[in-house]
Amino acid sequence: MGYREVVLKTESSRCLLCENAPCAQACTYGVKIDQIIRSVNFDNEQGARYMLADNPCVDCIDGGCMQACSRAKFDLPVRIDKITELLSQQNPVSVPDIDLTTYLCGVKCENPFFLSSSVVGSNYDMVAKAFDCGWAGVAFKTIGMFTPNEVSPRFSELDKEDTQFVGFKNIEQISTYSLEENLGFFRELKKNYPTKVIIASIMGSNEYEWTKLASLCEKAGADIIECNFSCPQMVGEGLGSDVGINPELVYLYTKAVKKGTNLPVLAKMTPNITSMIPPAVKAVEAGADGLAAINTIKSIMNVNLENFSSSPDVCGKSSVGGYSGKAVKPIALRFINEMKSSDKLKDVPISGMGGIETWYDAAEFISLGCSTVQVTTAVMQYGYRIVEDMIDGLKRYMSSHNFSSINDFIGVAEKNIIPADDLDRSYICFPRFDREKCIGCERCYVSCYDGGHQAIKMNSDRKPVLDGKKCVGCHLCKVVCPVNAIDPGKKVSKLALTGH
């Protein structure tokens, strides 16, 4: 990534992603500039370039879009002129004709993108809108035999500088619609969207309830049953993630669900456990056809040092709740990889989730073995519309990497995650400094000194100079460089370095 990419990303990320965006409304040529910038923000720069092609933005002297920019109400407007100039420096490529069809436990899905079970898939109108936007299916908000008495407020978020929702915490429980209302939503959705996939997420409190719920959901038109063994907010005995950490209960309830339905059954696993393998294997032994992971991670978001409460603050009190969003993706990928590495689970289909925001995130889950992916937090933050760039971006990636179907690339990255002891420890990969790109901020120097091996000195031009005798090749300098001016350089054998 060079300056061009850094500036494009940084400036685009200043966009507030307004709905009915004033910038697009102000454009006399009807350019959907809001969508173009959104595509850049959602890892789909190629799609942005394609949308921009043949539009007059680069020669436009009107500037109405920037005058209308909502950000100008409290800050400088987004530099739309700069963004369009940078985008137009490279040629647009049309959307390739790629079929994104995939199968989850034998059920056909028009693409791998699903809403995960949560507030984003709570009723008919919401799910119909999501289907119209392009989502292949929905894991409906978990339904049970009772409706909970929810608290207010119930969400809080972790942010960092300009980025909201690095992580997100909720203390929500299951659906607040009655069982009858939920079954009605399923019937109506199946009637009006017969090719979309409905995953009914259920949670019983005893075997009878699990069997009954599965059977009722099948009759109402669900295509797949997902057993919610993993909600960290359901604290009643034998409910939520307490089930998911108890392999015997997972076995018992999966069996009960299989008794009530002939549909494929997914067991949704909790990450609040050291290894997912024991409960996942028990689910499969009891007849589960696939797995879903991860549910949210138990968390306490913060402590307010004025009143010593934590958020979400319910009359001065809070409780442990489920953490989700971008920050949890590495943890989710680890659990997916763990299950796919197990001999007993390697052929079991997985619907993966946890921190997916873009097609790129989704493709990472697929390359580690998932057949489909699910999303909640990013939809809560940005809306159903993010699926447009997921579909477009994934098609473009697959075409440019010669994958003709999703099946071709499910699991392609699995072989590259190996035990730490098996990694090649015979060489040092030294960083290579691009002195042209370096802006002399000295961030590499301070990190190397205070958090590394004191291997960088700055010369009189404020450019880094490496001491090869001290450098261990950790690449801390590379990851802190704000302008990507440091690349992996030469790999040198440790034997050559020590001389023996």
Ligand X SMILES: Cc1cc2nc3c(=O)[nH]c(=O)nc-3n(C[C@H](O)[C@H](O)[C@H](O)COP(=O)(O)O)c2cc1C
User: Would you tell me which residues interact with ligand X (CB under 6 A)?
Assistant: 116-119, 141-142, 168, 170, 172, 174, 201, 228, 231, 268, 295-296, 322, 324-325, 328, 353-356, 375-378
Residue 247: closest CA among 258, 255, 257: 255
CA-CA distance, 462 to 405, in Å (whole number)? 49
DSSP state of 284: H
Q: Minimum CB separation from ligand X for residue 35, in Å?
A: 22
> CA-based angle 370:140:293, to the nearest 5?
30
Residue 337: closest CA among 419, 401, 405, 279: 419
CA-CA distance, 464 to 4, in Å (whole number)? 22
Give 137 or 355: the residue with its C-beta nearer to ligand X.
355
Q: Which helix (H) or strand (E) holds 298?
A: strand 297-299
Q: Minimum CB separation from ligand X for residue 377, in Å?
A: 3
Q: Minimum CB separation from ligand X for residue 133, in Å?
A: 16
Active site annotation includes 429: no
CA 120 to chain centre: 15
In the structure encoding, which two tokens stand for residue 135, read together?
């989502």
Q: Are residues 120 and 379 in contact, defined by beta-carbon separation less than 8 angstroms?
A: yes
Give 66 or 280: the residue with its C-beta nearer to ligand X.
280
Look at residue 475 and give its three-state secondary structure: coil
Give 46 or 296: the residue with its C-beta nearer to ligand X.
296
Give 201 or 358: the residue with its C-beta nearer to ligand X.
201
- 328: Cβ contacts below 8 Å, ≥ 6 apart: 167, 271, 294, 296, 297, 354, 355
Q: Minimum CB separation from ligand X for residue 379, in Å?
A: 8
Q: Minimum CB separation from ligand X for residue 378, in Å?
A: 6
Give 120 or 348: the residue with its C-beta nearer to ligand X.
120
Q: Which helix (H) or strand (E) holds 488?
A: strand 486-493
Give 63 or 148: the residue with its C-beta nearer to ligand X.
148
Of the residues 27, 109, 231, 477, only one is catalytic, namely 231
CA-CA distance, 134 to 386, in Å (whole number)? 10
Look at residue 197 and give its three-state secondary structure: strand
Q: Are residues 68 and 22 in contact, defined by beta-carbon separation less than 8 angstroms?
A: yes
Q: Minimum CB separation from ligand X for residue 48, in Å?
A: 23
Give 216 or 466: the residue with its C-beta nearer to ligand X.
216
Q: Which residues of 181-219 are buried (b: 16+ CB within 10 A; e: fewer)?
A: ebbebbebbeeebeebbbbbbbbbbeeebbbbbbbbbbe
Q: Minimum CB separation from ligand X for residue 137, in Å?
A: 13
CA-CA distance, 228 to 269, in Å (whole number)? 7
Q: Which residues are catalytic?
A: 231
